[in-house]
Structure 1
Amino acid sequence: MIYAPAIALSAVSDFSEIAAVLSIGIVCTLYTTLGGLKAVIWTDVIQGLLLIIMVFVVIFGAAGAVGGIGRCLDIAWAGDRIDFNHFEFDPRYRITFWSTVFGLGIVWTNITSTNQAVVQRFLCCRSIKEGKMAIYGTIPLNLILTGFCMTFLGYITYAYFADCDPLVLKTISAEDQVLPLMVVRVFAAYPGVAGLFIAGVFAGALSTVSSAINGMSSVTVGDIIKPFVNWNEKSLLWVSRGMTLFYGGLCIGFAFLSSILGSVIQAALSLLGVCAGALLGPVVMGALFPFVNEKGAISGMVTALAFNIWLFVGAWIYPPPLRFLNIKDRNIDGCISNSNVTKERPLIADFYAISFGYHSPLGMMVCIIIGLIVSVATGGLQSRYDVSPELIYLPFEHPTLRWLPKSFRKYMIPKMREKKEHDVQNLNKDDVVETSSMKSISKCTREDGDYGEDNQTFEIESAPDISYL
């Protein structure tokens, strides 16, 4: 996210990409370090409003310069830019209906459910109800901004340059600079508007990067450092600030790395896909499978991350053939891929050519498979007796899946240990309340009959621990 505005700034000013990356990264890191989460949230609000306003200003201003939104759509249709007919099942095609829905769908599910930068905002809400309202509120906003506004902005940009491609004329050096160039030309007669647009682009980048830096710093200090040290809060605060500086420098380094990964959008989605499946996999396993343990979750996550990195590096070394890139208005029948000029493509290159949209579902599958295997091998089937029914969703007890064998379904149900008489002699039976999940599981057990020796009632293990009730 640092590299994208750096490209925009270098396209409309004398700033080099290196200077732009450094200025954005340093400013963002400093105010995140000094202000903490409160500074991040309030700057995000202001920057988000600026970004939304400038998107609508550019859409209506640029569309008016072309001749209206209808005219823009006509030009885009004539140029074959409005194309929804991509249902290819070949996973090597870059963008299809399937890779968007199933592949990028998992990426966005990961972002909204496991990303620390997002989750920490939900946790800052005063109640669960407010947290849910925040989640539901982002759905229409994301749909309007990313689903409609950005799509129309792409059509308008194409219509504006339909007869004069700035890439062919070498006016710009990258496709990501087309939009800033259009804004500068359209609003040349309106001083300050182009600058506000660039500020909006910067705002979007700063809000995203500051959230990521703050989130990573909080997780590192709270979950990795704090449990193993006995430092006071002041010392931990300085450590947190140091980690913020470290992660800020890391983001700047990745911004320079993005310059060699091609299109900003593809690079961002590729890197998100590398991590999304590995991060979402343990969450899915923890919600559905009561016998998954710590060893299985960590093994699955590490294996999935290594698998996706291997796939990503292989795709970078052996780029996919041009016919899978959905290039418009170009005849590639007589073209030879650059990789074919210098070296012969091995058979494994076809596997590397899988679209970046499928990296996340592949990673999640690898994570779940390895995680389940390792969990079973390390005694996970016994650990399910220590899992509260309140923490597990029961998909296999749904009426549509009740046809599955009982011998399989019994392992999908968490069972609290059978109570010991000496542990509950002082427990008042009137204090025990059967939860809705326990009722549901008990009902399933009664309807299905005996599951075998594992068919036990759900009772608490000891009197003091009744937090799950």
Structure 2
Amino acid sequence: MAEKGFHVADYVVFGLMLLISAAIGIYHGCTGGKQRTTNEYLLGNRSMKTFPITMSLLASFFSAITLLGVPSEVFTYGVQYNVLILSFFLITGTAAIIFAPIFYGLHLTSAHEYLELRYSYGVRKLGCFVFVVQYLLYLSVVLYAPSLALKAVAGVPLATSIISTGVVCTFYTTLGGLKAVVWTDVFQAVVIVIGLITVFIVGTINVGGLGKVWKINKQRGRLNFFDFDPDPTVRNTFWTLTIGGAFSLMLPWTVSQAAVQRFLASESIKTAQRSLWLSIPGLIVVVTLCCFDGLVIFAVYADCDLKESGKVTSNDQVLPYFVIDKLGGLNGVPGIFMACLFSGSLSTASSGLNSMITVVLEDLVKKRWTNLSDYNATNISKMLAVVFGVVMTCGAFTIQYFSTLVLQLVHSMFGIISGPLLGIFLMGVLFPRANYKGAYLGALTGFIFTLTIATCGMIYPPDKKAGDISIKGCKFYNSTLYLNQTIDGIISKPFVPHSEPLAKLGSLSYLWYCATSVFTTIVVGVLTSLLFERNNDRQNRPRPELLFSIPQFFKSLFCCQKEKSSSDENSYLSIQLHNKEKGRSKDETVQLKEINRLDM
């Protein structure tokens, strides 16, 4: 690693970021309603404006995994990954047009409450379990990634950075609730953008200008933006990134509690939808900045690969190494960068903590103790925050035993675990005859099939088509060993295909895992629902507003009746009962009836 390290100014800047985050939690814990009710603690009194919701959505997405993983991906494989920005339009459209109106219109608190209304309470518990497991694993990676970077660039022990970050995140989430999470996300989003721009500008100047950065990357084959190869085994292609990437990232933006809680915290459905659409430019800017940072770093070290020279042990460390190596002389700049990384982790971790608290409270605790007072429910929420914070922090220590790049690890994790959950939600919305039997078997099949593919990929690693690297600028290049193994200092590592039959299955690109899981869940789920459908299943089919809360054009694609059915009045009575349980006013119920009338 680099010989340079953190200056006192860097520690001051980094510590200041942690203090401001904690102060926001203290402020929201001591003002307003002081987080004494579950409505304020978990949903911000359902009164959040467009700006904080938009910024919170952005900050929650841009964890240290994105900030470390995307530059590493571009450094290793090329700028093709930037095509992923096209998938944001499909993801945001799905969330804004389909799911946000459904969740907001039903006045839910937990996203999985929809699964009970649509299928059964058992499916709701399944959704809760899958979400908590997936997010505990995800947040463990989120905490580990920046801690590894801090250890690499400043020599800070891994345990120290993981524990300190976990404690600060747990502290302000426990004390300040969703309002603290959202407004801390706003502050941290600003820090993230400042850090990325700083790296890009200073790095470009160091190389000798943007033109030279572009020229070096083009010579080394890292500017292939559009590869239209339809082969799903190729790591990054146009189709893999736009379609496969859309499915990989769809759950965190559509039906995960982290996203749904922001829809529900908005002051109106229009605010939620506006926030989603306004997040697209921010997503594009930050991902593009991360990609360009990767190009800049590659240009700087193009003639002496960092990993081959022993400067880093993993390409996930190239960005923090660059910051210390090239910006270490500017006191405070490395501190800004590390604050940027940890801001991304804090925003994602706090959002995840708050979401897990909500689903466990709503899906399990309140179902078990139906007469639980709001005061006690709020206290239980705060205790859950502490428990999950401890589990998440402990889990971060186990991630060091995985050798995969963090970006691929997270996408694979989302595909295997959250793919079946997304499939259940989509099946419930798109197929009126889907039932709980199909949901169970579909989710189980989707999980097993995708896990099998991922396992085969680990046992028989596919050709990742990494770009060539060079060592001709390294001091050790003239050694006999390297002279005999390279041509003009360029190292190419040819791939030797596996002969085992299962190797072909494992060659599927990790970005297709989630799509594979979703479609397997839906196909098996729908077929199972039709095969084991009973006569009374049709009579007890879920009411219309559980199936669709979208324009008539989309409904007509999925065999929904345009005419009002005779069961509409019974559906309205069901809404009244549900709204009474959720605390909705009579006026809100009338408004929802009108919305459903227009939608039908």
TM-score calculated relative to the size of structure 1: 0.80
Partner of 2:114: none
Q: Distance in 2 between matches of 1:276 and 1:222?
A: 20
The offset of 1:236, in angstroms, is: 2.4
Partner of 1:150: 290
The yes-or-no answer on 1:331 pairing with 2:502 is no
Q: Which amino acid aligns with 1:303?
A: T
Q: Which amino acid aligns with 1:317?
A: I
Ranked by relative contact order (alpha carbons within 8 Å, sequence separation 6 or more), the top structure is 2
Residues 248 and 513, structure 2, Cα contact 8 Å, conserved in 1? no
The offset of 1:5, in angstroms, is: 0.7
Residues 330-351 of structure 1: per-residue CA shift (max 9 Å, x gap): 4234x658xx7xxxx6312221
Residues 346-388 of structure 1: per-residue CA shift (max 9 Å, x gap): 3122212211111001100111022212322443775455433
Q: Distance in 1 between matches of 2:303 and 2:389?
A: 42
Q: Distance in 2 between matches of 1:464 and 1:105?
A: 38
Partner of 1:370: 524
Partner of 2:416: 274
Structure 1 counterpart of 2:160, from 10, 13, 19? 19
Q: What pairs up with 1:177-188 in 2 under 5 angstroms?
A: 177-188=317-328
Partner of 1:219: 359
Q: What pairs up with 1:306-455 in 2 under 5 angstroms?
A: 306-320=448-462, 323-329=463-469, 330-333=491-494, 346-379=500-533, 382-385=536-539, 386-393=541-548, 412-413=559-560, 440-441=562-563
Q: Which amino acid aligns with 1:89?
A: P
Partner of 1:136: 277
Structure 1 counterpart of 2:194, from 43, 53, 57? 53
The offset of 1:235, in angstroms, is: 3.0
The offset of 1:301, in angstroms, is: 2.5
| Distance 1:38-1:14 versus aligned 2 partners, 3 A rule | same
Query: What is the number of residues matched between the two proteins?
Result: 413
**SS of 2:397 mapped into structure 1:** helix
The offset of 1:457, in angstroms, is: 5.5
| Distance 1:379-1:157 versus aligned 2 partners, 3 A rule | same
The offset of 1:324, in angstroms, is: 3.7
Q: Distance in 1 between matches of 2:509 and 2:399?
A: 18
The offset of 1:136, in angstroms, is: 0.7
**Worse-superposed segment, 353-362 or 384-393:** 384-393
Q: Distance in 2 between matches of 1:249 and 1:173?
A: 28
Structure 1 counterpart of 2:430, from 282, 288, 310? 288
**SS of 1:45 mapped into structure 2:** helix
Residues 290 and 384, structure 1, Cα contact 8 Å, conserved in 2? no
Residues 185 and 347, structure 2, Cα contact 8 Å, conserved in 1? yes
Structure 1 portions without partners, runs of 5+: 403-408, 414-437, 443-455
**SS of 1:168 mapped into structure 2:** coil
Q: Distance in 1 between matches of 2:416 and 2:268?
A: 33
Q: What pairs up with 1:102-141 in 2 under 5 angstroms?
A: 102-141=243-282
Q: Distance in 2 between matches of 1:463 and 1:6?
A: 52
**SS of 2:317 mapped into structure 1:** helix
Residues 312 and 318, structure 2, Cα contact 8 Å, conserved in 1? yes
The offset of 1:144, in angstroms, is: 1.3
Aligned-residue Cα RMSD (Å) equals 2.9
Structure 2 portions without partners, runs of 5+: 1-141, 470-490, 576-592
| Distance 1:188-1:393 versus aligned 2 partners, 3 A rule | same
Partner of 2:169: 28
Residues 312 and 352, structure 1, Cα contact 8 Å, conserved in 2? yes
- Identity rate, percent: 31
Q: Which amino acid aligns with 1:387?
A: P
The offset of 1:458, in angstroms, is: 5.8
Residues 296 and 372, structure 1, Cα contact 8 Å, conserved in 2? yes
Partner of 2:569: 460
| Distance 1:141-1:457 versus aligned 2 partners, 3 A rule | same
Q: Distance in 2 between matches of 1:265 and 1:399?
A: 34
Q: Distance in 1 between matches of 2:156 and 2:563?
A: 64
| Distance 1:163-1:401 versus aligned 2 partners, 3 A rule | same
| Distance 1:52-1:79 versus aligned 2 partners, 3 A rule | same
| Distance 1:362-1:253 versus aligned 2 partners, 3 A rule | farther
Structure 2 counterpart of 1:67, from 200, 208, 222? 208
When Rg is computed on C-alpha atoms for both structures, the one with the higher figure is: 1
